[in-house]
Structure 1
Amino acid sequence: MAGKQAGDETSRYSFTDEQEEFRTVLRRFLDDKSPTTEVRRLMETETGWERAGWQQLNSQLGLTAVAIPEAYGGQGFGFVELCIVLEEMGRALLCAPYFASAVLATQAILNAGSEEDKEALLPAIASGETVATLAFTEDNGGWDSGAITMTATPSGSGYRLDGVKSFVLDGAAADLIIVVARRPASSGDDGLGFFVVDATADELEKTPLVTMDATRKLARLQFNGVEAKPLGDGNGAGAAFA
């Protein structure tokens, strides 16, 4: 984006020609793929989106790869391009797990994951093969560190998660869940970590929630000793509250 010019007391920001062209192409695509009739149809489905449409979104435009570095199968663009995608998807009321997978889960992995984690998890998210989400809030609805009560207990080479996550975006349909949990007997920012969970785990119970916005499906997730791997060293979540 263009910034402040010499001698200009006000800051003026504008998109580059390439970014505007990207917006034009994206808007044309979404106008075709997400008309009102399609939005209403998908709103009535259980998941709120369909795999075929999601794969088409990624195979033709590679949108889930926009803000993922090229080293991990992404396109290597930044937040400006990501914001353009989000703006245009919002304009079209696109029914897709984009924010959950390409933004929330992806940024958690990029910021808290080890190099090994990024190499293992991000390419499949970038291609759209894996749909991921971030499970943060619990039944109390709080966004501060003190609201996190889910426990992550060491078990063998990994951890076991017990507790509830609620209001999880696309939580009932995601393939991979990045969960914020705390070690037993910890409090506040201490002991918080991100953990990676396979959404097909038998010990994981998923309950869709009734919401006002049917284009964004939420779920309540009950973890009953679910096996999990730490993201990075398993201590990265506390920094989000610093």
Structure 2
Amino acid sequence: MDADVPAFTAFTAFTAFTDEQDGIRRTLRDLLAERSTPEDVRSAVRTAAGYDTELWGRLVGRLGLPGLALPAAYGGAGRTLTELALACEEAGRVLLPSPLPATAGIAPPLIDALGTPDQRQRLLHIADGSLTCTLAAPGGALAGQLHDGIGFTWEREAHLYVKRAAADELLFGPVHLLREAAAERAGLFAPCPAGG
């Protein structure tokens, strides 16, 4: 080996966000700071929809979040997954209960890749906010694998402890009680009364 050439050269990659990407983050952060306080989040998850429909309307109308990464042919803004990830990150920062991840991040790529032409036309309704999506899977191993794959980052660390346990309910109790206890310890939610 040549003495003038180091055996290993480390490099550091620096990625700066564009002005547009910073604008998305800033705009969303400002809106969510005023509309997604811990009290707002608690109140929203207790509604029939499970999220603040008025706030969702603002996220759709003002920011076009459901169509952010959709191609223009489907009524979207044609941005990249980077912009969508930034929006989801800001939503996650305040634990925003909303249909954003499923509506903008999970359903559209699946429909675009696997859907019929008629189903692809429904992407127009996702982009304009008139259609929200959710992920449903049959019970059993597939549902567990899907849950493990799309878990939220705030539950990731605790989830690693129970992820591989075959009898997690036997060992640790029902998962919903574990999540409730973790949220309570973090000061996010008060426990729900029985039957409520």
Instruction: Using structure 2 for the length normalisation, give the TM-score.
Output: 0.65
Question: 1:112 maps to what in 2?
Answer: 114
Q: Partners in 2 of 1:137 and 1:103 — Cα distance?
A: 20
Question: 1:17 maps to what in 2?
Answer: 19
* Mean CA deviation greater in 9-18 or 83-92: 9-18
Structure 1 residues not aligned, in runs of 5+: 1-7, 145-165, 170-208, 216-242
Give the percent of matched residue pairs that are identical in Structure 1 and Structure 2. Answer: 34
For residues 38-53 of structure 1, the aligned pairs below 5 Å read 38-53=40-55
For residues 1-242 of structure 1, the aligned pairs below 5 Å read 9-119=11-121, 121-140=122-141, 141-143=143-145, 210=176, 212=179
**8 A Cα contact 1:137 1:143, kept in partner:** no
Q: Partners in 1 of 2:138 and 2:104 — Cα distance?
A: 19
Q: Which amino acid aligns with 2:105?
A: V
Shift of 1:88: 0.3
Shift of 1:103: 1.2
Shift of 1:17: 2.1
Shift of 1:41: 0.9
Larger Rg: 2
SS at structure 2 position matched to 1:132: coil
Aligned length: 147
Deviations for 1:124-162, whole angstroms, at most 9, x for unmatched residues? 111111111222352344438xxxxxxxxxxxxxxxxxx
Q: Which amino acid aligns with 2:126?
A: I
Q: Partners in 2 of 1:139 and 1:132 — Cα distance?
A: 22
Q: Which amino acid aligns with 2:135?
A: L
Q: Partners in 2 of 1:116 and 1:47 — Cα distance?
A: 27
Deviation beyond 6 Å, 4+ runs, structure 1: none
SS at structure 2 position matched to 1:134: coil
Question: 1:192 maps to what in 2?
Answer: none
Shift of 1:102: 1.3
Shift of 1:52: 2.8
**8 A Cα contact 1:49 1:96, kept in partner:** yes
**RMSD (Å) for aligned C-alpha atoms:** 3.0
Q: Partners in 1 of 2:116 and 2:80 — Cα distance?
A: 20
Determine which structure has the larger strand proportion and give its number: 1
Q: Partners in 1 of 2:32 and 2:109 — Cα distance?
A: 24
Q: Partners in 2 of 1:43 and 1:142 — Cα distance?
A: 23
**8 A Cα contact 1:66 1:74, kept in partner:** yes
Shift of 1:44: 2.3
SS at structure 1 position matched to 2:145: coil
**8 A Cα contact 1:101 1:125, kept in partner:** yes
Question: 1:230 maps to what in 2?
Answer: none
Structure 2 residues not aligned, in runs of 5+: 1-9, 151-174, 189-196
Instruction: Using structure 1 for the length normalisation, give the TM-score.
Output: 0.53
